């Protein structure tokens, strides 16, 4: 497997990560996960735009420009002959003697690699079970930062309960999942938390809003409560790797009919159409 380190594509074993890398010591960096379908990086431009925004919110600059990054990532996918899988990309603030404040001199360190992964087809078809837990994360969840402990603890709670995802709430308002966005359908309208500082502005969430628009499904980017979540006709989670996954239960309570709902299914079909248009490069 080849890895992109700064602007070099090289073998994994040739990479050295410094013990004083701030990504390693402070989680001081940003990342992206990008899906590859049929050899194409899906919505690559949107992921890179979000990466640049996350970096800029942390006052970090990437080691080179956007165009070069797009070229190198496409080259990495091609060199690894990846057909179905993901790209993991992270940028740390760089290497400096350990001290919390920004170093005077440091250069961002960029790493990207790819791995094979099949689509989660049975979960997409049958739905996932979830738990509800408190959102204990910081107040800048819009930044896709390497600090993921709030998400890690929530996901582990879900796994310990035999579930796939933890749905998070702040004082009774549903925010998102530990690694997904959450939407509900009530009486034909789709509700999802507004894209503010309390959630990650998911690329899949954005694609879903496009699909809903195409399908004339009314959308409200409004907060909804835990009570509304349990009373929803349909609930689904979304992410680059989970796509649009129906939620069939939360804390062992059945959602809607307990099977994937009709509007979730229509959105899944519209999403599928977008994947199908991708030709092998």
Q: Contact with ligand PMP (CB under 6 A): which of 40, 92, 106, 239?
A: 239
Print the binding letters for residues 148-167 with ligand PMP: x by CB under 6 A, - otherwise. ---x----------------
Given 106, 130, 179, 192, the residue binding ligand PMP (CB under 6 A): 179
Residue 153 sits at the vertex; the CA angle it makes with 145 and 35, to the nearest 5 degrees, is: 50
**144 given a catalytic annotation:** yes
From the CB of 150, what's the least distance to ligand PMP, in Å? 9
For 210-263, the DSSP string reads HHHHHTT--EE----BHHHHHT-SEEEEEETTTEEEEEEEETTEEPTTSS--HH
Residues 6+ away with beta carbon under 8 Å from 14: none
Q: Does 180 bind ligand PMP (CB under 6 A)?
A: yes
Segment contacting ligand PMP by CB under 6 A, of 8-16, 126-134, 176-184, 222-230: 176-184
Smallest distance, ligand PMP to C-beta of residue 199, A: 6
Q: What whole-number distance in Å separates Cα of residue 154 and Cα of residue 126?
A: 23
Catalytic residue among 144, 186, 253, 279: 144
Among 41, 69, 89, 200, indicate the residue that binds ligand PMP (CB under 6 A): 200
Q: How far apart are CA 133 and CA 136, in angstroms?
A: 9
Our finding on whether 268 is near ligand PMP (CB under 6 A) is: no
DSSP-assigned beta bridge partners for residue 261: none
Q: Which of 119-149 are b and which e, b meaning 16 or more Cβ less than 10 Å from the residue's Cβ?
A: eeeebbeebbbbbbbebebeeebbbbbbebe
Question: Closest separation between CB of residue 181 and ligand PMP, Å?
Answer: 5
- Applying CB under 6 A, the residues found at the interface with ligand PMP are 33, 151, 176, 179-181, 200, 202-205, 238-240
């Amino acid at each position: 497997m080849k890895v992109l380190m700064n602007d070099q594509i090289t073998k994994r074993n040739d990479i050295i990560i410094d013990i004083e890398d701030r990504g390693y010591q402070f989680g001081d960096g940003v990342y992206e996960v990008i899906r590859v379908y049929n050899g194409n990086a899906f919505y690559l431009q949107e992921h890179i735009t979000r990466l640049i925004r996350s970096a800029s919110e942390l006052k970090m600059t990437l080691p080179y420009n956007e165009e070069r990054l797009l070229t190198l990532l496409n080259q990495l996918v091609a060199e690894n002959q990846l057909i179905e899988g993901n790209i993991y990309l992270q940028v740390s603030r760089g290497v400096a003697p350990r001290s919390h404040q920004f170093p005077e001199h440091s250069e961002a360190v960029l790493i990207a690699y790819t791995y094979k992964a099949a689509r989660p087809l049975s979960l997409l078809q049958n739905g996932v079970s979830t738990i509800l837990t408190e959102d204990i994360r910081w107040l800048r969840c819009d930044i896709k930062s390497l600090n993921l402990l709030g998400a890690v603890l929530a996901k582990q709670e879900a796994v310990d309960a035999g579930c796939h995802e933890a749905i998070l709430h702040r004082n009774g308002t549903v925010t998102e999942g530990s690694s997904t966005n959450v939407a509900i359908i009530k009486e034909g309208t789709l509700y999802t938390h507004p894209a503010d500082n309390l959630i990650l502005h998911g690329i899949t969430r954005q694609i879903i809003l496009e699909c809903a628009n195409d399908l004339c499904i009314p959308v409200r980017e409004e907060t909804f409560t835990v009570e509304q979540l349990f009373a929803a006709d349909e609930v689904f989670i979304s992410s680059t790797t989970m796509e649009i996954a129906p939620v069939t239960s939360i804390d062992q309570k059945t959602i809607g009919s307990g099977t994937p709902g009709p509007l979730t299914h229509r959105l899944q079909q519209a999403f599928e159409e977008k994947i199908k248009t991708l030709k092998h490069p």
